[in-house]
Amino acid sequence: MGSIKRRQVGMLIVLVMTACGVSADAEGEILVSAAASLTDAFAAVETAFEEANPGTDVVLNLGSSSTLREQILEGAPADVFAPANTSNMDQVVEAGENSGEPEIFVTNLLQIAVPAGNPAGITGLADFANEELLIGLCAEEVPCGEFGREALANAGVTPSIDTNEPDVRALLTKVEAGEVDAGIVYVTDVISTECAVEGIEIPEEENVLAKYPIAALGGAPNPDGAAAFVEFVLSDEGQTILADFGFMTP
């Protein structure tokens, strides 16, 4: 083969690889701090990413968005930040901790979660005012709790709350166990339990749309890896995976 042809083939290979989301530079450990509601979805993203980018090891740091924000602001090392609301991301941006503009990569809607079989016969947000029932919400300080309360306000309901769980997964566990009669979580959370928890729709006019931003971080130990991961999440392949879990495209 002639040298020119060799170069063309080389460029073609690089183009193809890039289109498939492979950056020749991505390797090593990539630390992703993501909201708890992304637990299952991001696990699948991790698998797919690592398969497409051998030599990388995505480490997921999952928790409540506010805790993760605090960690980042206090200087904990992370490559990517994916909280469940924009205000947490804004605080990180304000502190100059991001590298590159955050982008909304998925949106999520709220849903009422009840234990399988709906033993308490919940029909809608109005039931949340019932003192006889055990009602759980996410703590006000976390996105899920903030949005949940917004939805209840939209519906004109003053809830009789029995517990404010620190993150959405903790709330989901209690609902699944039947220890609370109802809670407000994300649609994706209900889907993730695979029928262990039933979901009751919240009407569109009451519901709140959660927007999930993602950004690579400024102090990232692995900036190339961070960029590659963000790119993957925003790519068609990444979006397809996320949609499988119930997330909606922005």
Partner 1 sequence: MNHAAARRRRVGGPPALLVVLGGLGLALFAVPVLALVARIPWSRLPELLVGDVVGDALRISLVASLAATGISALLGVPLAWLLARVEFPGRSVVRGFVTLPLVLPPVVGGAALLFALGRTGLVGGPIYRATGFILPFSIWGVIVATTFVAMPFLVITLEGALRGMDVRYEGAAATLGAGRWTVMRRVTLPMVAPSLIAGLVLTWARALGEFGATITFAGNLQGRTQTLPLAVFVALESDRDAAVALSLIMVAVSLTVLIALRERWWHTL
Return residues touching partner 1 (CB under 8 A): 64, 66-67, 70, 134, 136, 139-142, 161-166, 170, 174, 177-180
Q: In angstroms, what is the minimal distance from the CB of 117 to partner 1?
A: 11
Q: Minimum Å distance from CB 46 to partner 1?
A: 24
Closer by beta carbon to partner 1, 142 or else 155: 142
CA distance 190 to 211: 18
Q: Which of 220, 231, 219 is nearest to 30 (CA)?
A: 220
- CB 195, min distance to partner 1, A: 17
Show the tokens assigned to 48: 């797919």
Q: Of the two residues 157 and 242, which places its CB atom closer to partner 1 in the complex? A: 157
Nearer to partner 1, 72 or 233 (CB): 72
**Coil, strand, or helix at residue 95?**
coil
Per-residue DSSP letter, 92: H
**Cβ of residue 140: shortest distance to partner 1, in angstroms?**
8
Nearer to partner 1, 141 or 244 (CB): 141
If you write DSSP's letter for every residue of 176-224 in order, what string do you get?
HHTSSSEEEEEHHHHHHTTTSEEEEPPPTTT--EEEEEEEEETT-S-HH
